[in-house]
Amino acid sequence: MKILLAYLAVLAGTLSLAAVVQKTVLAKTCWCWPPAPHKGGMAKAKFESAEYVASGSFGTEADWNNADHVYALNYSQEQGRRVFSQQCVWCHADTTPAGPSNRSNITPDPGLLNDSAVLSKVNDESLHKIIAGGGSGVGKSAMMPPYGATLSDEEINDVIAYIRVIAAPEVPKPANNAKSAGE
Amino acid sequence: MLRRALQSRKPWFAYVLALGCAVAVSLVYWQVRTDWRAWRQVTEGHVLLAKSTTETLAWKQPVLPAQFSQASCGSCHHDDLAQTPRLNHGRQLMVKYNCTACHQLLDIERPAMLGPDLTNVGTKVSREWIYKWLNEPRTLTDANGNVTVNGVDTESRMPKFDLSDAELRAISAYLSVQRVKAISPSRISLKVVSSHGKDDAAIADGQTRFNQMFCVTCHSIAVDRGGEIKVIGGDIGPELTKVGSKVKPEWLVAWLNDPQGYLQHTKMPRFEWSDKDLYKVSQYILNKLTDPELLKDVPQMGAPTEGEVQLGHKLFVEKGCAECHVIQGVTPRSNFGPDLSAMGIAGGVRVLEARMPREKDFSVHFVRTGVERLDVSEAVVPHSMISYIQSKITNPASVTPAPRMPRFVMSDSDRDDVTMAVLSMTGPAIPNQPQKTVVERRHSNYQPDGAAGEVYQRYRCNTCHNFRGNGGDLAPDLTYEGSRSNREWLVQFLKNPQTIRPSLTVRMPRFEMNEKDANTLADYITTTLLKKEVDPKAVSQSEFTAEMADRGKKLFETKYSCQSCHTIGSSGGYVGPSLNNVADWLTPAWIEAWLHNPQALVPGTIEPRQSMSESEIKDLTAYLLTLKQAPQAETVASAAKGGGQ
């Protein structure tokens, strides 16, 4: 009887020890990407350099005005980047996948989408209207064709989300806040 | 004895025994829960564990990190999705690198070109060159050792094997004796080619011809542009900057004359050369595209000995060379590498386990269901599945000691794309499921037959163009070309391709196609490659009047401002094709259908769909049909390919 009791006591002790280990040690296992050694439990991983902006985001894009500034893109912005590079880049950027831009062939000049002076004057709704209805739809030059029948509403919203990133205007930093601006 | 001990007056003994039993039971319990890892470690040896310290990472992540999330789409969508560009690229790379040669994968095709056929390689290159190539399979690097120069990937598909000097000697000996078929005799006297010495005029002419024929559409070469070395050209064929120091002159002439005679499945078309042109271009390649330093650090080896050849054959089989290269006397094995068709973590229980039994001198890989961890010895990479795959691709030795897998050299983003494609492999679909969830990849092996099929094969049209789902994506899809283009224009274009898209840098090569071949292809295109809804005969030129054309011109220039993307005369944009010769090029039926809905004809084309009325479409078509270009305005300088969409 004594033997059985002793055995059960030891077994209970071992199992509770295992439970404690599971609660403390295994709970600290890192589930995030990229794997980084974590100090202090579930502490958020620290990303010090631009390449780590990629971690946990759907894609990255360097600010067109400041290549050192790399932004993490969310899902919508990443899809916007895809649509932009297929449809918009030809006339609304200075360099294109084919080389030179088509901008110079068009009068009036299409707005450069990394020009925050142009973009900060228009809200998302007007942007949506001009992309879907074309220049003639809002009383501007018909050089901008309508994309309402080609792109879905969601894709147009994605493009807008994306172009808001590439032209993010510099935000003056408050004196005692060292966190990065424009996020 | 036990009974006596228990009955003796030593009560502490019973406590010790109870404790011992408990420890033993706990030990067994722990081992069962951990898949007998420590037990196997002791008995089999070298099954090391991911260290269970606080810094151990989750091997299987419950949810893929965001930048790999496209892999989750891929577990059901085996076909390409517009929203997953990186996954699609990863799968293309898996085809390009011929991963299916060694691994079992889901819905990944074999590439058209697996790797050069080595049956006759002894007639093509020297033993020294093979030595050099196997040691470092790349010819062009920039100052930092990168293989991408100005965004152009010049990396060869050949992975890097870590071979010792003796192994290199043996394999190069084995390959240099592979001469099954003698080089077919050429119309050019080889004596003239080799003994003529340096013929500067011929070299200069050869360079002009090389440029005129647009060899750089498929092959890249490094050129000096104002002191800066730039690599220009495509990556369908091998990079050619130093090819003159690589191949034997007689082989080069025979190859240029008839590539398909040397290598049946090559992507290279057969050009209709005149003897003079063939001589000049081969002179240019052998004298200008060279590097005297190329074989500088290769030891002189002399004739191969029997022992070296034997060893080379053994190594060739062991290293799995035959999985990509055809050679006489060795058969490929499709299960040379582990099965990766269930490698994706999102799919659940199937995970790869790598083990290293003590007795064997090579690593054994196998897939076991239900195993939750990977045991990696001395891994220097984080213990997680994604890092494991990433490291395995570019440096297998970092995760598996003595790996059979070679090192694939690719950029970090390419590596991540391939990792994504591997993660999307989640095993075969569950049978008998009520709803079909897997979207299969469409496979097409469409080939024309008959006389057109022979010409099509000779010019390898599907290297660049896609025909009914089969072919490359460099040039326009020609599935509906018969509805799009006029027959007379096709014949002219095939004989002398002109540029249609001013912004393109890659262009259709000039094959010097003869009248008969051009007519055969044009007949095939106009009778077979038709879209049912767009019948070229349904709309006749006569229904369009000059008045309609006038109205169409106004619509073109003001209401729709088509000139922002299309060039007419010398003004306009170059996003779309030039419309200078559109009346000769496009059929009226195609123009009308295109203006209705471009995406219905060419899915994914970037021309936006406009809401035009029926009469506006007629007017615009009438205007476009007035745009003809006088043939004499075409100059050789602007001769180029294009492709029309």
pLDDT in tens, B590-624: 999 999 999 999 888 889 999 899 999 999 999 99
Residues B366, B502, single domain; the answer is no
**Alpha-carbon distance B439 to B100, whole Å?**
20
Do the domain assignments include residue B87?
yes
Question: What's the pLDDT at B623?
Answer: 93
| A3 plus A78 within the same structural domain | no
Contact A58 B69 (CB under 8 A): yes
B609 interfacial to chain A (CB closer than 8 Å):
yes
> In terms of domains, do A116 and A158 share one?
yes
**Is the bond preceding residue A37 a cis peptide, omega within 30 degrees?**
no
SS3 B407: strand
| Domain shared by A129 and A85, yes or no | yes
Please indicate if any CB of chain B lies within 8 Å of the CB of A67.
Answer: no
Q: Which residues contact B392 (CB under 8 A, 6 or more apart)?
A: B399, B400, B403, B405
| B180, part of any domain | yes
**8 Å CB contact between B553 and B622:** no
Domain count, chain A: 2
CA dist., res. B52 & res. B50, Å (int): 6
Any domain includes B310? no
The H or E element spanning position B228 is: strand B228-233
Q: Are residues A41 and A117 in the same domain?
A: no
User: Same structural domain for residues B160 and B214?
Assistant: yes
Q: Check whether the bond before B11 is cis (ω within 30° of 0).
A: no
- For residue B426, count other CB atoms closer than 10 A to its CB: 22
Integer Cα distance of A60 and B404 in angstroms: 35
B250 within some domain: yes
The answer to whether residue A133 is domain-embedded is yes
For residues A81 and A68, membership in a common domain is answered with yes
Domain co-membership, B347 together with B468: no
How many beta carbons lie within 10 A of that of residue B179, not counting itself?
13
Q: Does residue A31 lie within any of the structural domains?
A: yes
Say yes or no: A116 and A159 in one domain: yes
Instruction: Answer yes or no: do A22 and A64 share one domain.
Output: no
**Phi/psi of residue B98, nearest 5 degrees:** 60, 45
State whether B600 and B539 are in the same domain. yes
Domain contains B306: no
End-to-end CA distance of chain A: 68
> Residue B397 region, left (φ>0) first, then alpha (ψ -120 to 50), else beta?
alpha
Rounded Cα distance between A30 and B100, Å, is 33
Which residue intervals of B75-141 are DSSP H helices?
85-96, 127-135
**A129 lies in which domain range?**
50-166
Q: Which of B18, B67, B610 is opposite residue A7, by nearest beta carbon?
A: B18
- Contact predicate B378/B460, CB 8 Å: no
Q: A175 in a domain, yes or no?
A: no
SS3 label, residue B285: helix
Element at B601 (helix H, strand E): helix B598-601
| Mean pLDDT (whole number) for A34-54 | 45
Which residue is closest to A99 within chain B, CA to CA?
B503
| Shared-domain flag, residues B283 and B181 | yes
Give residues 78 to 97 of A whose Cβ lies within 8 Å of B.
Answer: 79, 82, 86-87, 90-91
Do A42 and A71 have their domain in common?
A: no
Residue B432 lies in a domain: no
* A106 and A58 in a common domain: yes
On whether any CB of chain B is under 8 Å from the CB of A11, the answer is: yes
Interchain contact B62–A (C-beta under 8 A): yes
To probe the interface with B, which of A150, A154, A162 has the most B CB atoms within 10 Å? Answer: A150
Per the document, the length of chain B is 645
* Chosen domain end from B373, B388, B423: B423
Q: What's the CA gap between B546 and B582, in Å, rounded?
A: 17
Domain assignment present for residue B319? The answer is no
The answer on B618 and B549 residing in a single domain is: yes
Tokens 């309508």 map to which residue? A146
Residue B586 has what DSSP assignment? B
Distance from CA of B642 to the nearest CA of A (A): 14
Task: Inspect the interface and report whether the beta carbons of A90 and B565 lie closer than 8 Å.
Answer: yes
Is B22 found in the same domain as B161?
no
Tell me whether residue A178 is in a domain: no
In the three-class reduction of DSSP (H, G, I as helix; E, B as strand; rest coil), residue B120 is classed as coil
Q: Which residues in chain B have Cβ-Cβ distances shorter than 8 Å to A141?
A: 561
Residue B22 contacts A where some CB pair is shorter than 8 Å: yes
- Please check whether residue A99 lies inside any domain of the structure: yes
Which of helix, strand or coil describes residue B440? coil
Say if CB B548 and CB B309 are below 8 A apart: no
- CB A146 to CB B611 under 8 A? yes
Residues of B in Cβ contact (< 8 Å) with A143? 561, 564
- Residue spans of beta strands (DSSP E) within chain A: 59-63, 66-73, 95-96, 99-100
What Rg, from alpha-carbon coordinates, does chain A have? 26
**Whether residue B245 is found in the same domain as residue B141:** yes
Facing residue for A86 by CB, picked from B18, B559, B606 = B606
Separation of alpha carbons B97 and B542, rounded Å: 53
User: By the 8 A CB rule, do A137 and A129 touch?
Assistant: yes
Beta-strand runs (E) in B477-615 = 567-568, 571-572
Classified as helix, coil or strand, B515 is helix
Beta carbons of B608 and A147 less than 8 Å apart: yes
Contact B411, B387 (CB under 8 A): no
Q: Which of B178, B137, B176, B179 is nearest to B301 (CA)?
A: B176
Per run of 10 residues, the mean pLDDT along chain B (length 645 residues) is 67 84 92 73 55 42 77 87 91 90 86 80 89 79 52 69 90 90 66 62 88 86 75 81 86 88 85 84 87 80 88 91 88 83 54 37 34 40 70 80 83 88 80 70 85 91 89 87 92 85 75 90 92 87 89 91 88 86 91 92 88 92 87 42 36
B14/A contact by beta carbon, under 8 A: yes
Q: Considering just the CA atoms, what is the radius of gyration of chain B in Å?
A: 31
Q: Structure tokens of A23?
A: 């609660």
Q: Evaluate whether residue B435 is within a structural domain.
A: no
H or E stretch including B224? strand B220-225
- pLDDT tens digits along A85-135: 989 998 888 888 777 788 888 888 888 887 877 888 888 999 999 999 998
A32/A59 same-domain check: no
- The whole-number pLDDT of residue B89 equals 92
Cα-Cα-Cα-Cα dihedral sign, residues B289, B292, B294, B298? positive
H or E element, residue B615: helix B614-624
Contacts of residue A108 in chain B, CB cutoff 8 Å?
none
Structural domain contains residue A123: yes
Give the long-range contacts of residues B41-46, CB within 8 A, separation 24 or more.
B44/B355, B44/B357, B44/B358, B45/B356, B45/B357, B45/B358, B46/B356, B46/B357, B46/B358, B46/B377
Residues of B in contact with A37 (CB under 8 A): 55
Task: Cite the DSSP H helix spans in B184-248.
Answer: 190-195, 200-212
Are residues B23 and A54, on separate chains, in Cβ contact within 8 Å? no
CATH number reported for the structural domain that contains residue A56 in this entry:
1.10.760.10
Q: What is the DSSP code (8-state) at residue B496?
A: S
Query: Does residue A32 fall inside a structural domain?
Result: yes
Percentage, residues of chain A above pLDDT 90: 20
Enumerate the β-bridge partners of residue B57: A30
Clarify whether residues B488 and B616 are in a common domain.
yes
Conformational region of residue B26, where left means phi above 0, alpha means psi within -120 to 50, and beta covers everything else = alpha
Please give the residue of chain A at the shortest CA–CA distance from B21: A7
Domain identity same for B93 and B179: no
- The DSSP symbol for B396 reads G
- Does residue A62 lie within any of the structural domains? yes
Determine the Cα–Cα distance for residues B295 and B131; give it in Å rounded to an integer.
9
Are residues A11 and B25, on separate chains, in Cβ contact within 8 Å?
yes
Beta pairing class for B228-233 and B350-355? unpaired
What range does the domain containing B418 cover? 66-111+340-423
- Picking from B589, B475, B581, the residue whose alpha carbon sits closest to that of residue B526 is B589
- The verdict on B210 and B80 lying in the same domain is no
Q: Tell me the CA distances in angstroms from B58 to B323, B380, B386, one per residue in order.
A: 34, 16, 10
Same domain, B600 and B484: yes
* Counted domains in chain B: 4
3-state helix, strand, coil split of chain A in percent (to 5) is: 45, 10, 45
Question: Is residue A57 domain-shared with residue A136, that is, in the same domain?
Answer: yes
Residue in the structure block whose two tokens are 């060893």: B311
Residue A181: what pLDDT?
40
B54/A86 CB distance under 8 A: no
Q: How many CA atoms lie within 13 A of B502 on its CB side?
A: 19
Neighbours of B61 (CB within 10 A): 20
- Structural tokens at position B87: 């996954």
Interior/surface letters B190-205, b for 16+ CB within 10 angstroms, e for the rest: eeebeeeeebeebbeb
Chain B residues in contact with A35 by the CB 8 A cut-off are 57, 382-384, 387
Spell out the residues 6+ positions from residue B92 whose beta carbon is closer than 8 angstroms to its own: none
Q: Give yes or no: residues A145 and A70 share one domain.
A: yes
B57 to chain A, minimum CA–CA distance in Å?
5
CATH code at B166? 1.10.760.10
Give B300-363 as a 3 state SS string.
Answer: CCCCCCHHHHHHHHHHHHHCCHHHCCCCCCCCCCCCCCCECCCCCHHHCCEEEEEECCCCCCCC
